[in-house]
């Protein structure tokens, strides 16, 4: 079914507070890096896909106009695809389908965010409807905390155990970010640092939460023929899934989280994955909150429901563990939202092509990348492999 | 290459709706599924077309849209402009991964501020926005330049509004329904000189759905599939001052679409066109760039009557965007109307001649920064 599509190049900016560049220049930095990595020029690009967060966060609406030059799109067809936080994965999916459709041979996919110039939490509050939900919305942490509590209560996870496991996730993500030259937060933290950090929304503390980053990412997709011709080590797209659930937060079960479960199921089916824990070599999850990362482990079938803290405490997802998760330091250490899902995809591509440098998981052949968006509403998964 | 067909279309009226945005969306989605005899579960994938800046004060438009478009736990995505959503739907089928895709675009202009303050946000906050720029301001500059360079008259530009609003009287879904004379248009308020109020599109509500299917599925779903034959899109420079406003990217987009569809002589081959003309003169300029007449020949084209409902190449028999302007959905409205003309199901605004090939065009951005062209065939 369908034509094979590969990733032949990726590029990232140095993420963090980038007051040294304007927003279009930030985009250009990632685009230039991706083109150089792929060994091609703008002339080779047949189409450009862009995704960012909504206008309120950007300060400019319809950013595909503003970035026309920066992403090299002048005179080329453009697709503007957005699905909130899952945008980064959704634009990757669009790049895949554009090439798989046969209407383009090489497509450039760009995701970006300059969060230091906007108000992320205020923007996210406007995702809620103005009549019923917005009055009690407290940005992203409020939502994800409710979900974490719902999950711990449902599976009778003692609060202490949940706290311990979440702290371990924070420590290992921060450790991993030390190996990633692009990461925003690069400091080592201890278990005590996490447990004693300032409360944001109980039980979530400062070091359980991602930063607001400036950053951009670009990924080049190509057809099988072109990939084989011009790329020594392409990363092949093996499976992809996107699922969304109800808009009103209270209408769905966030402890079981069907959108995450079903998106992974779809991607696994396409990629022929039956036992993800065994078959996957590495996973790049979208983990803006430590507690939430554990819910993803369960939804993606890495462990049985309610047992994620046990697996974490055993070190199953650490570097060198059974299934290393977020060797890049993850979203927890770098979150330029519109780019974040694409960074997960780019990092997965680096892993399966052996180009991840100090954060390389030895011999990684099959990788999962993921993003989550909306008010816990959307999940997207893409599986990449080193072999066609 | 696989083939993609539009099997069914459904659209709402452009007039102000009393429904909530979610119910408004749901009703049209329900209607198209009923027409096709499908359940939501039968559809392979769902693509939304909506823009958060035109979205009733809600960010992340896809979040709110998801229930109304019937996408609960289904594969799907959203593009910000509805012609892009349509193309994305076609890509999904051409890839071989899906046999049916539902594309739905939506907006309630009645719950939004006016289009001008909204489009001012296309401008960057440092150089463009402080001078009071918006889409109408750039259009006015473009119109002035158009008249000066090609000696097209103000009356010729105004005639487009007279023609399209007359056509709209035969379209039950049109928003602005009013017979206007040339004198009415010429004497309407000069909002941005030389643009007059009746030469500028209104702000409309609108939900439009198009069901796409692969060749084998399409033949089972309908007796009259409308085939997707060609597509082109092109992006221009951001700063209007960096480009020739009369020589933008539409020619590039059209050339790509014609090449894909095998159209050599658009003037002969295209039977009807639905052109996105938020400003009356733009229909003339776009017609030139689509190859319907020579450079600077737009004024003579409208004078000749060729683009009238009964002309040789009817343009905007639906009344176009001047009659109905659900901003981010208007591209898909053009595509839906072009499909109806090919199916022969446009009702009272069905053109007189037999339609085998139709063109739909969409544009957004200052002075047409981004253009998309879609060719459909019987």
Instruction: Tell me the per-residue pLDDT of A132-177, one tens digit each, with 9 for 90 and over.
Output: 888 877 788 889 999 999 999 999 999 999 999 999 999 999 999 9
Range in A14-23, A247-256, A306-315, B302-311 with the lowest mean pLDDT: A247-256
Sequence-distant (6+) residues with CB within 8 A of A100 are A2, A3, A5, B91, B94, B95, B96, B97
Among B56, B60, B94, the strongest candidate for a mutation testing the A interface, having the largest count of A CBs within 10 A, is B60
Binned at pLDDT 50, 70 and 90, residue A241 comes out as very high
**pLDDT tens readout for residues A317-365:** 999 999 999 999 999 999 999 999 999 999 999 999 999 999 999 999 9
Contacts of B234 in chain A (CB under 8 A): 75-77
DSSP conformation class of A185: -
Sequence-distant (6+) residues with CB within 8 A of A31 are A11, A70, A71, A72, A108, A110, A216, A218
Contacts of A247 in chain B (CB under 8 A): 22, 63-64, 66-67
CB pairs under 8 A between A and B: 194
Q: Inter-chain contact B59–A82, Cβ cutoff 8 Å?
A: no
Average pLDDT, chain B: 97
Contacts of B52 in chain A (CB under 8 A): 54-56, 61, 82
In sequence order, which ranges of chain A are alpha helices (DSSP H)?
23-38, 55-58, 63-66, 87-100, 120-125, 139-154, 159-177, 191-196, 224-230, 258-271, 276-279, 290-299, 308-314, 330-333, 337-352
What is the pLDDT averaged over residues B146-160? Answer: 98
Q: Which CATH code, of 3.40.47.10, 3.30.930.10, 3.20.19.10, 3.50.50.60, is assigned to B4-113+204-221?
A: 3.40.47.10
Q: How far is A211 from chain B (nearest CA, A)?
A: 20
Using the predicted structure, report yes or no on whether residue A302 has a pLDDT greater than 60: yes
User: Residue B256: which H helix or E strand, with range?
Assistant: helix B250-261
Q: Are B326 and B209 in contact (CB under 8 A)?
A: no
* Residue of B93, B121, B252 with shortest CB distance to A61: B121
Domain range spanning residue A40? 5-120+212-230
* pLDDT at site A2: 72
CA closest to B253 among chain A residues = A77
Using the predicted structure, report yes or no on whether residue A1 has a pLDDT greater than 60: no
Average pLDDT, chain A: 96
Using the predicted structure, report yes or no on whether residue B122 has a pLDDT greater than 80: yes
Q: How many domains does chain A have?
A: 1
Contacts of A78 in chain B (CB under 8 A): 84, 233, 235, 370
Cα A260 to Cα A305: distance, rounded to the nearest angstrom: 13
Binned at pLDDT 50, 70 and 90, residue A130 comes out as confident
Q: Inter-chain contact A62–B122, Cβ cutoff 8 Å?
A: yes
Q: Inter-chain contact B96–A242, Cβ cutoff 8 Å?
A: no
* pLDDT at site B100: 98
Which 3 state secondary structure label does DSSP give A236? strand
Q: How far is B124 from chain A (nearest CA, A)?
A: 6
Contacts of A79 in chain B (CB under 8 A): 79, 84, 87-88
In A98-157, the residues whose Cβ lies within 8 Å of chain B are 98, 100-103, 123-124, 126-127, 129-130
Residue A83 at interface with chain B, using a CB cutoff of 8 Å: yes
**Residue (of A193, A166, A197, A195) closest to A294 by Cα position:** A166
Q: Inter-chain contact B95–A101, Cβ cutoff 8 Å?
A: yes
Q: Are B339 and B194 in contact (CB under 8 A)?
A: no
What is the pLDDT averaged over residues B208-219? Answer: 98
Q: Inter-chain contact A77–B121, Cβ cutoff 8 Å?
A: no
* pLDDT at site A140: 87
What is the pLDDT averaged over residues A229-244? Answer: 98
Cα B256 to Cα B247: distance, rounded to the nearest angstrom: 16
Q: How far is B305 from chain A (nearest CA, A)?
A: 33
Q: Are A364 and A208 in contact (CB under 8 A)?
A: no
Q: Inter-chain contact A76–B234, Cβ cutoff 8 Å?
A: yes
**pLDDT tens readout for residues B329-369:** 999 999 999 999 999 999 999 999 999 999 999 999 999 99
Contacts of A59 in chain B (CB under 8 A): 125
- Does A89 reside within a domain? yes
* pLDDT at site A138: 74
Q: Domain ranges for chain B, please list them.
A: 4-113+204-221
- Does A110 reside within a domain? yes
ipTM of the complex: 0.98
Residue A323 has a CB neighbour count (10 Å cut-off) of 22
Q: Inter-chain contact A65–B88, Cβ cutoff 8 Å?
A: no
Cα A7 to Cα A28: distance, rounded to the nearest angstrom: 19
* Residue of B1, B78, B232 with shortest CB distance to A82: B78
* pLDDT at site A36: 98
* pLDDT at site A135: 84
Q: Inter-chain contact B53–A54, Cβ cutoff 8 Å?
A: yes
Q: How far is B118 from chain A (nearest CA, A)?
A: 9
Range in A53-62, A268-277, B264-273 with the lowest mean pLDDT: A53-62
CATH of the domain at A53: 3.40.47.10
CA closest to B124 among chain A residues = A60
**pLDDT tens readout for residues B100-118:** 999 999 999 999 999 999 9
* Residue of A60, A82, A259 with shortest CB distance to B124: A60
- Does A269 reside within a domain? no
- Does A299 reside within a domain? no
Q: Inter-chain contact A79–B87, Cβ cutoff 8 Å?
A: yes
What is the pLDDT averaged over residues A374-380? Answer: 95
CA A359, A365, A368, A369 dihedral sign is positive
* Residue of A73, A80, A242 with shortest CB distance to B75: A242
* Residue of A53, A245, A266 with shortest CB distance to B75: A266
Among A25, A54, A90, A238, the strongest candidate for a mutation testing the B interface, having the largest count of B CBs within 10 A, is A54
**pLDDT tens readout for residues A65-89:** 999 999 999 999 999 999 999 999 9
CA closest to A67 among chain B residues = B238
In A45-74, the residues whose Cβ lies within 8 Å of chain B are 48, 53-57, 59-62, 64-69, 73-74
The burial class, CB within 10 Å (0-12 / 13-18 / 19+), for B351 is buried
CA B106, B111, B116, B117 dihedral sign is negative
What is the pLDDT averaged over residues B139-157? Answer: 98
């Amino acid at each position: 079914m369908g034509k094979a599509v590969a990733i032949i190049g990726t590029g990232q900016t140095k993420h963090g507070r980038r007051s040294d560049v304007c927003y279009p220049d930030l985009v250009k930095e990632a685009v230039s890096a991706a083109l150089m990595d792929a060994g091609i020029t703008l002339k080779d690009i047949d189409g450009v896909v862009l995704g960012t967060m909504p206008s309120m966060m950007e300060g400019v609406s319809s950013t595909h106009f503003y970035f026309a030059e920066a992403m090299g799109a002048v005179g080329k067809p453009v697709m503007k695809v957005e699905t909130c936080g899952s945008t980064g994965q959704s634009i990757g999916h669009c790049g895949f389908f554009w090439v798989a459709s046969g209407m383009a041979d090489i497509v450039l996919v760009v995701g970006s965010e300059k969060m230091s110039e906007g108000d992320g939490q205020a923007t996210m509050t406007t995702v809620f409807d103005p009549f019923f939900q917005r009055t009690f919305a407290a940005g992203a942490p409020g939502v994800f905390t409710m979900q974490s509590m719902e999950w711990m209560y449902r599976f009778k996870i003692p609060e202490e155990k949940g706290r311990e496991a979440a702290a371990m996730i924070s420590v290992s993500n921060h450790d991993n970010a030390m190996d990633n030259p692009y990461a925003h937060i690069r400091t080592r933290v201890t278990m005590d640092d996490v447990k004693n950090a300032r409360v944001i929304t109980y039980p979530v503390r400062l070091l359980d939460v991602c930063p607001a980053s400036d950053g951009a990412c670009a990924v080049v997709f190509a057809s099988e023929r072109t990939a084989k011709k011009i790329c020594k080590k392409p990363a092949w797209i093996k499976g992809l899934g996107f699922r969304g659930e109800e808009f009103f937060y209270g209408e769905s079960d966030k402890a079981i989280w069907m959108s995450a479960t079903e998106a992974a199921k779809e991607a696994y089916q396409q990629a022929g994955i039956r036992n993800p824990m065994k078959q996957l070599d590495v996973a790049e999850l979208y983990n803006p909150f430590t507690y939430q990362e554990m819910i993803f482990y369960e939804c993606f079938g890495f462990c049985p429901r309610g047992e994620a803290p046990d697996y974490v405490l055993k070190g199953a997802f650490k570097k060198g563990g059974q299934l290393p998760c977020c060797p890049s330091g993850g979203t927890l250490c770098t979150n330029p939202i519109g780019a974040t899902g694409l960074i997960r995809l780019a990092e997965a591509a680096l892993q399966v092509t052996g180009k991840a440098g100090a954060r390389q998981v030895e011999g990684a052949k099959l990788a999962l990348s993921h993003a989550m968006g909306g008010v816990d509403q959307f999940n997207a998964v893409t599986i990449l492999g080193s072999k066609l | 290459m696989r083939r993609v067909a539009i099997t069914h279309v459904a659209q709402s009226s452009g007039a102000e709706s009393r429904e909530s945005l979610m119910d408004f969306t749901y009703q049209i989605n329900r209607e198209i599924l009923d027409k096709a005899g499908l359940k939501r579960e039968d559809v392979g994938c769902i693509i939304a077309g909506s823009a958060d800046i035109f979205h009733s004060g809600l960010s992340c438009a896809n979040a709110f849209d998801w229930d109304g478009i019937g996408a609960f736990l289904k594969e799907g995505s959203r593009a910000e402009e509805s012609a892009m959503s349509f193309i994305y739907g076609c890509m999904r089928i051409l890839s071989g991964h899906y046999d049916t895709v539902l594309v739905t675009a939506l907006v309630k202009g009645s719950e939004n501020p006016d289009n001008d303050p909204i489009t001012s946000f296309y401008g960057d906050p440092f150089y463009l926005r402080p001078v009071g720029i918006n889409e109408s301001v750039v259009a006015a500059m473009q119109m002035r330049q158009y008249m000066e360079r090609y000696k097209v008259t103000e009356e010729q530009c105004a005639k487009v509004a007279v023609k399209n609003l007359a056509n709209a009287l035969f379209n039950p879904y049109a928003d602005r329904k009013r017979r206007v004379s040339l004198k009415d248009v010429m004497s309407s308020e000069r909002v941005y000189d030389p643009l007059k109020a009746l030469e500028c599109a209104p702000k409309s509500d609108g939900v439009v759905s198009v069901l796409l299917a692969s060749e084998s599925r399409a033949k089972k779903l309908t007796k009259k599939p409308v085939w997707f034959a060609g597509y082109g899109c092109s992006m221009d420079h951001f700063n209007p001052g960096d480009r020739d406003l009369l020589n933008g990217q539409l020619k590039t987009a059209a050339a790509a679409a014609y090449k894909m569809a095998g159209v050599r002589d658009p003037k002969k081959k295209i039977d009807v066109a639905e052109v996105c003309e938020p400003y009356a003169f733009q229909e003339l300029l776009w017609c030139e760039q689509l190859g319907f007449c020579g450079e600077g020949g737009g004024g003579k084209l409208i004078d000749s009557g060729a683009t009238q409902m009964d002309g040789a190449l009817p343009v905007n028999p639906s009344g176009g965007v001047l009659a109905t302007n659900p901003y981010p959905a208007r591209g898909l409205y053009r595509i839906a109307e072009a499909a109806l003309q090919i199916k022969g199901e446009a009702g009272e605004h069905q053109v007189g001649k037999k339609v085998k090939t139709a063109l739909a065009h969409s544009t957004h951005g200052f002075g047409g920064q981004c253009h998309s062209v879609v060719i459909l065939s019987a």
